[in-house]
């Protein structure tokens, strides 16, 4: 895994030589646009909206639309003038409690890996962040663009997470959202019980992209010249009548209890088998002693 940035991570007077490496991998299925007649790939041309003619790259400029149909053209020199000076230091300017940060700020994670000589300082910062349950906040210039960045701990790794700036988030005040006083205490208590009954440790391996799996089945079948018919799972019929919320909560809670009982059955059966085997072993031992 190649590094995409090398420099140092600093807080106070401490400088840690680090490298930034990708922490996620794309898992999407790519397609090409083809001509149906001979399956030749389709090329895209840059066409003028006024003349309909193809325009070569050398005649294309970048423009900012400041009003409807009004543009100001920017040159390469303009972009160079606005560019931030490339820095090889990511300075942590603040440490913030993790639960104080709106999750919408976080965007793309990267691993921070210590370079030679930075191992001890790296481990020291990692454990300090872990113990204080905080996030280091700073800025980094990555691929010619400045980003807000958060430094977190995931296992034994420091993770740099690219963050959105405040102006990129939409204020929830602009949304028409229900007030909490609509909820009755009895409903809230039962909803909490339902959530508790369905609570499980997070296991990401349980969740898969079903659409991607189905699509790959279709692709593999067509590669072999076969056709595959995927039968969708039938949806449970929904009651069209308006039902009291408490009734729905009670029904859901009962289903949750049944599901929990089913989950625990294999463990109970295994436990009974172990007890039975242990009892048989003890009986054999006692018989040998008596003999």
Helix (H) or strand (E) holding 211: helix 210-223
pLDDT in tens, 171-221: 888 889 889 988 888 888 888 888 888 888 989 888 888 888 888 888 888
Does the pTM exceed 0.75?
A: no
Q: Say which residue, 83 or 9, is predicted with more confidence.
A: 9
User: Is 159 buried (19+), middle (13-18) or exposed (0-12) by CB count in 10 A?
Assistant: middle
pLDDT grade, residue 238 (50/70/90)? low
Mean pLDDT, rounded, for 14-20: 91
Mean pLDDT, rounded, for 28-55: 88
Beta strands in the chain (DSSP E): 3-11, 14-22, 62-67, 70-74, 89-97, 106-114, 134-142, 145-154, 157-163
* Exposure class string for 111-135: b at 16+ Cβ within 10 A, else e: bbbbeeebeebbeebbeebeeeebb
Residue 269 predicted with pLDDT over 80: no
Helix axes 185-197, 245-290, angle to 10 degrees: 40
pLDDT grade, residue 145 (50/70/90)? confident
- In sequence order, the β-bridge partners of residue 6 are 19
Question: Distances in Å between the alpha carbon of 144 and those of 43, 61, 92?
Answer: 29, 20, 20
pLDDT at residue number 196: 86
Residue 84 predicted with pLDDT over 70: no
What is the chain's length?
Answer: 291
pLDDT grade, residue 268 (50/70/90)? very low
pLDDT at residue number 99: 93
Q: What does the alpha-carbon distance between residue 186 and residue 198 come to, in Å, rounded to a whole number?
A: 19
pLDDT grade, residue 249 (50/70/90)? confident
Helix, strand or coil, per DSSP, at residue 10: strand
Could you tell me if 113 and 125 are in contact, meaning their C-beta atoms sit under 8 angstroms apart?
no
């Amino acid at each position: 895994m190649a590094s995409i940035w090398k420099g140092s991570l600093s807080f106070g007077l401490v400088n840690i030589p680090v490298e930034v490496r990708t922490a996620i991998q794309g898992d999407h299925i790519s397609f090409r646009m083809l001509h149906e007649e001979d399956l030749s790939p389709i090329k895209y041309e840059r066409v003028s909206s006024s003349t309909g003619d193809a325009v070569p790259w050398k005649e294309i400029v970048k423009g900012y639309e400041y009003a409807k149909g009004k543009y100001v053209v920017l040159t390469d020199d303009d972009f160079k003038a606005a560019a931030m000076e490339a820095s090889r230091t990511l300075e942590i300017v603040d440490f913030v409690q993790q639960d104080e940060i709106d999750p919408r700020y976080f965007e793309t994670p990267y691993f921070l890996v210590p370079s030679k000589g930075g191992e001890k300082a790296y481990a020291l910062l990692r454990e300090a962040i872990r113990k204080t349950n905080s996030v280091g906040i700073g800025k980094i210039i990555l691929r010619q663009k400045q980003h807000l960045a958060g430094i977190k701990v995931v296992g034994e790794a420091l993770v740099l997470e690219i963050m959105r700036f405040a102006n990129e988030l939409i204020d929830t005040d602009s949304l028409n959202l229900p007030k909490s006083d609509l909820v009755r205490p009895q409903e809230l208590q039962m909803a909490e019980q339902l959530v508790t009954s369905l609570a499980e440790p997070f296991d990401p391996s349980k969740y898969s992209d079903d659409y991607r799996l189905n699509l790959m089945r279709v692709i593999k079948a067509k590669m072999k010249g076969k056709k595959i018919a995927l039968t969708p799972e039938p949806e449970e019929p929904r009651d069209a009548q308006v039902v009291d919320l408490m009734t729905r909560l009670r029904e859901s809670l009962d289903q949750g209890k049944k599901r929990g009982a089913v989950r625990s059955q294999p463990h109970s059966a295994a436990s009974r088998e172990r007890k039975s085997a242990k009892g048989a072993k003890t009986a054999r031992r006692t018989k040998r002693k008596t003999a």
